[in-house]
Amino acid sequence: MEADVVIVGAGSAGCAMAYRLAEAGVDVLVIEHGGSDAGPFIQMPAALSYPMNMARYDWGLQSEPEPQLNNRRLVVPRGKVIGGSSSINGMVYVRGHAHDYDHWAESGAAGWSYADVLPYFKRMEHSHGGQPGWRGSDGPLHISRGPRRNPLFHAFVEAGRQAGYETTDDYNGEKQEGFGPMEATIWRGRRWSAANAYLKPALKRPNCRLTRALACKVVIEDGRATGVEVRRGDRAEVIRARREVVLAASSINTPKLLMLSGIGPGAHLAEHGIEVVADRAGVGANLQDHLEIYLQMAASQPITLYKYWNLWGKALIGAQWLFSGTGLGASNQFESAAFIRSRAGIDYPDIQYHFLPMAVRYDGKAAAEGHGFQAHVGPMRSKSRGAVTLRSADPQAAPVIRFNYMSHPDDWDEFRACIRLTREIFAQDAFKPYVRHEIQPGAEVTSDDEIDGFIREHAESAYHPCGTARMGRADDPLAVVDPECRVIGVEGLRVADSSIFPRITNGNLNGPSIMVGEKAADHLLGKGLLAPSNAEPWISPRWQVSQR
């Protein structure tokens, strides 16, 4: 088996890349260890808590014990299915803030400023309800908004306004800062994953193929990537790449594959008996994520989704969705959102909210108190950094994942601010008809020490790992890829996924990951890039003196 370009990973960026390369006439072969995304658990938006907890669809990874979080091991869901994590995620669509990308460019990723990436976001989007002129209208990726029928969605936005914050009709448009509707990769009641948007249309072309196998390492001959060694059952074989190999295997599995291929920190590779091809200290380093807590309120009226949280209710929702593609099953239930700044002197938002009209955990366990609602809240730009390293030279062994969450003192200040600002929002008049009391942390948790104790015990990952093969200047010793996504020190090898983010973006990472696949495809094709935009994003004129 061989192709012009071999892509490892049918995830968010890999699917987008396959689509654009095949469209341009390149012979593409995609390697994916996972299988089909058929079935209601993936395709039904409201069932989102199921696939990320199913071994069939998830790699089943865990962090090492986190010292600052009471030595808890946190789950690290990564999609093992076509569409990758876009097939098991919460479907929330966030581009990130304009200044995220300007920071990328300033830190060595030339050509990745907001002006450079905005045209790629517009190319990939088919926005339903977004801000005209700022959003794409005919791309493969459908982005929609929920119906927001539950009054709690409006109470959340109104409470933000009453607390003095901005509102925004499109946080993916000119103005991210503020409270408003949330967007999702949902179309006609179905999860609109990268598999549905990109891979399935690409596979209809004769020059795009998909093969199921476990990628073990990149084959490198005389300093050039020439193929990928894969395993199917007990059998090993090499899939040849006539032109290039692209790793799009996630911010966890991409650095693992690089290291198994001899690209990474030399001393660490030597420990595992791996011959060093390119000594790159940055491989696996710079691991970042978003942590969040769920601030939960007990509801004084039975208007939350809890009334469906029983076998009969779930069956009704499932049946309506199966037969008509409509109803509560057609939404991820995250239909209102907010981005705010934690204090004066910060020029763009550093706190994100997902609002949910039910008190429930990601693993599907509902709050014992019954009717309730919650805000997922967390800081956007933690200074803590972790690493992905090898557990062994066995490609089937899970890597060692250490996030080092909350290891920077500023993280604690930022998280305390998140909790106190959220309590203030829930105390506004807009919520008066709906609030009974605070479930968690609980009204008695008020001091810094008490709040810190709650964070240690209850902070959860938002499942946004990135940064482990970061992009930078070719002479930067900690950069792994150059601004064209080429692995520094090896010919014919690129990385295109959230590994290459120099710094985590504001919000959920699916949108930025797809954008990376779109833009990396143009770099590989060697054709001209889309012309930069001169659009100017909104920044609060009072950011230096006011928090809101």
Q: Name the percent of the chain in helix, strand, coil, to the closest 5.
A: 30, 25, 45
Closest CA to 517 of 230, 158, 219, 124: 124
pLDDT at 535 over 80: yes
Confidence of residue 138 (pLDDT cuts 50, 70, 90): very high
- The residues, any chain, with a CB within 8 Å of residue 417's CB and separated by 6 or more, are 342, 343, 351
Give the separation between CA 497 and CA 512, rounded to whole angstroms: 9
Reported as a pLDDT band with limits 50, 70 and 90, residue 361 is confident
Q: Give how far the C-alpha of residue 358 lies from the chain's centroid of Cα atoms, to the nearest Å.
A: 22
**Mean per-residue pLDDT for 517-530?**
97
* Range of weakest confidence among 60-69, 292-301, 365-374: 365-374
How far is it, in rounded angstroms, from Cα 533 to Cα 427?
A: 41
CA distance linking residue 30 with residue 246, whole number of Å: 9
Q: Per-residue pLDDT tens for 494-505?
A: 999 999 999 999
Domain 1-65+75-145+182-287+465-530, what fold?
FAD/NAD(P)-binding domain (3.50.50)
Task: Give CATH 3.30.410.40 domain extents, the chain.
Answer: 147-180+291-379+407-458
Indicate if the pLDDT at residue 366 is higher than 90.
no
Tokens 């950094």 locate to 385
pLDDT in tens, 194-246: 999 999 999 999 999 999 999 999 999 999 999 999 999 899 999 999 999 99
pLDDT at 364 over 90: no
Q: What was the pLDDT predicted at 213? A: 98
Task: Give per-residue burial for 386-408: e unless 16+ CB within 10 Å, then b.
Answer: bbbbbeeeebeebbebbbbbbbe
The residue with tokens 């989007």 is 125
Determine if residue 133 is left, alpha or beta; phi over 0 gives left, psi from -120 to 50 gives alpha, anything else beta. Answer: left
Predicted local confidence at residue 363, as pLDDT:
72
**DSSP notation for 316-335:** HHHHHHHHHS-SGGG--S--
Sequence-distant (6+) residues with CB within 8 A of 173 are: 130, 131, 134, 135
Tens-digit pLDDT profile for residues 75-103? 999 999 999 999 999 999 999 999 999 99
Please say if the pLDDT value at position 280 is more than 80.
yes
Q: Report the pLDDT averaged over residues 125-144.
A: 98
pLDDT at 274 (0 to 100): 98
Question: Strand 493-495 to strand 336-340: parallel, antiparallel, or no bridges (unpaired)?
Answer: unpaired
Band of pLDDT at residue 369, cut at 50, 70 and 90: confident
The token duo for 499 is 């590994």
Closest among 26, 66, 37, 11 to 401, alpha carbons compared = 66
The predicted-structure confidence for 459-471, as pLDDT tens digits, reads as follows 999 999 999 999 9
In this structure, what is the dihedral angle of CA atoms 435, 439, 442, 448, given to the nearest 10 degrees? -100
Angstrom CA distances, 72 to 406, 419, 455, stand at: 13, 21, 12
What type of residue sits at position 336?
S
Range with the lowest mean pLDDT among 160-169, 353-362, 480-489?
Answer: 353-362
Could you tell me which of 14, 21, 20, 16 has the C-alpha nearest to residue 3? 21
What integer pLDDT is reported at residue 367 of this predicted model? 78
**Catalytic residue list:** 464
pLDDT at 350 over 80: yes
Start-end of CATH 3.50.50.60 domains in the chain = 1-65+75-145+182-287+465-530
Find, among 129, 548, 146, 61, the residue nearest to 354 by Cα: 146
Using an 8 Å Cβ cutoff, are 253 and 15 in contact? no
The token pair that represents 118 in the structure block: 């905005």
From the options 1.20.1250.20, 3.20.20.70, 3.40.50.1110, 3.30.410.40, give the CATH code of 147-180+291-379+407-458.
3.30.410.40
What pLDDT does 62 receive? Answer: 98
Before 357, cis peptide (omega within 30)? no
Q: What's the mean pLDDT when you consider all of the chain?
A: 97
